[in-house]
Amino acid sequence: MAYHLPELPFAHAALDPVIGVKTMEIHHGKHHNVTNLNKAVEGLSVPECPNELISDLSKIPAEKRGAVRNNGGGHANHSLFWPCLAAKGSGGSASGALQSAIDSAFGSLDAMKEKFGAAGATRFGSGWAWLGVGSGGKLCICSTPNQDNPLMGSDVVDCPCTPILGLDVWEHAYYLDYQNRRPDYIKSFWDIVNWVQVSKNFEAVS
Ligand code: MN3
């Protein structure tokens, strides 16, 4: 069993200028790397799906758990992230079901964006902002440090849920394009969200 780097569902230049070609080449080609994950799980019987792998870290031997948390989390996070992006103008809009869930949880799409943006902007250091489906099927927003994922559960994260949209707020995700201006990156991110994919992710959980 070896994990593989998923192909990008678009060209490296497709997201320019929101995310530039150089950032995409380095981010997908270098930072999203499964080599250390495959080393960490060598000899273990592990599920093929990275989401399943990170959902129960207690199954991983203690001496490898930290490496699987970091590298498995990174693989799961980026594997969700790439398909949630699309060239400006091509991402469509939220399905009726997703829009209703957003309205009921946050009041409006704009209110959701504001809360999500704040989660990403206030995450100290490296991490992710998430829109996820929590207990009772209600949408929630949170952020996690490093490569933690809300699927890791309440032992690891303070916002257990199933993410349907994630935003990488590590500096490697935006520094070439925005330098220290993380809030500008987050604001521009909404121009390249693939709402068709996010709606599919929502349906798969609901
Ligand atoms: Mn990254």
Average pLDDT, the chain: 97
Phi and psi torsions of 98, nearest 5°: -70, -40
Q: What is the pLDDT of residues 13-64, one digit of tens each?
A: 999 999 999 999 999 999 999 999 999 999 999 999 999 999 999 999 999 9
Segment 84-95 mean pLDDT: 98
Query: Is the pLDDT confidence value at 120 over 90?
Result: yes
- Cα 96 to averaged position of ligand 1 atoms, centre (Å): 30
- Cα 163 to averaged position of ligand 1 atoms, centre (Å): 16
Segment 148-154 mean pLDDT: 96
Which pTM value belongs to this model?
Answer: 0.97
- Cα 97 to averaged position of ligand 1 atoms, centre (Å): 29
Residue boundaries of the structural domains of the chain: 19-206
Neighbours of 4 (CB within 10 A): 10
What is the CATH topology of the domain spanning 19-206?
Answer: minor pseudopilin epsh fold (3.55.40)
- Cα 32 to averaged position of ligand 1 atoms, centre (Å): 6
**What CA–CA distance (Å, rounded) separates 56 from 63?**
15
Query: Is the pLDDT confidence value at 1 over 80?
Result: no
- Cα 172 to averaged position of ligand 1 atoms, centre (Å): 6
* pLDDT at residue number 206: 86
* Band of pLDDT at residue 151, cut at 50, 70 and 90: very high
- Cα 131 to averaged position of ligand 1 atoms, centre (Å): 17
Segment 108-126 mean pLDDT: 97
Segment 130-145 mean pLDDT: 95
Beta strands in the chain (DSSP E): 127-133, 139-145, 162-168
- Cα 75 to averaged position of ligand 1 atoms, centre (Å): 9
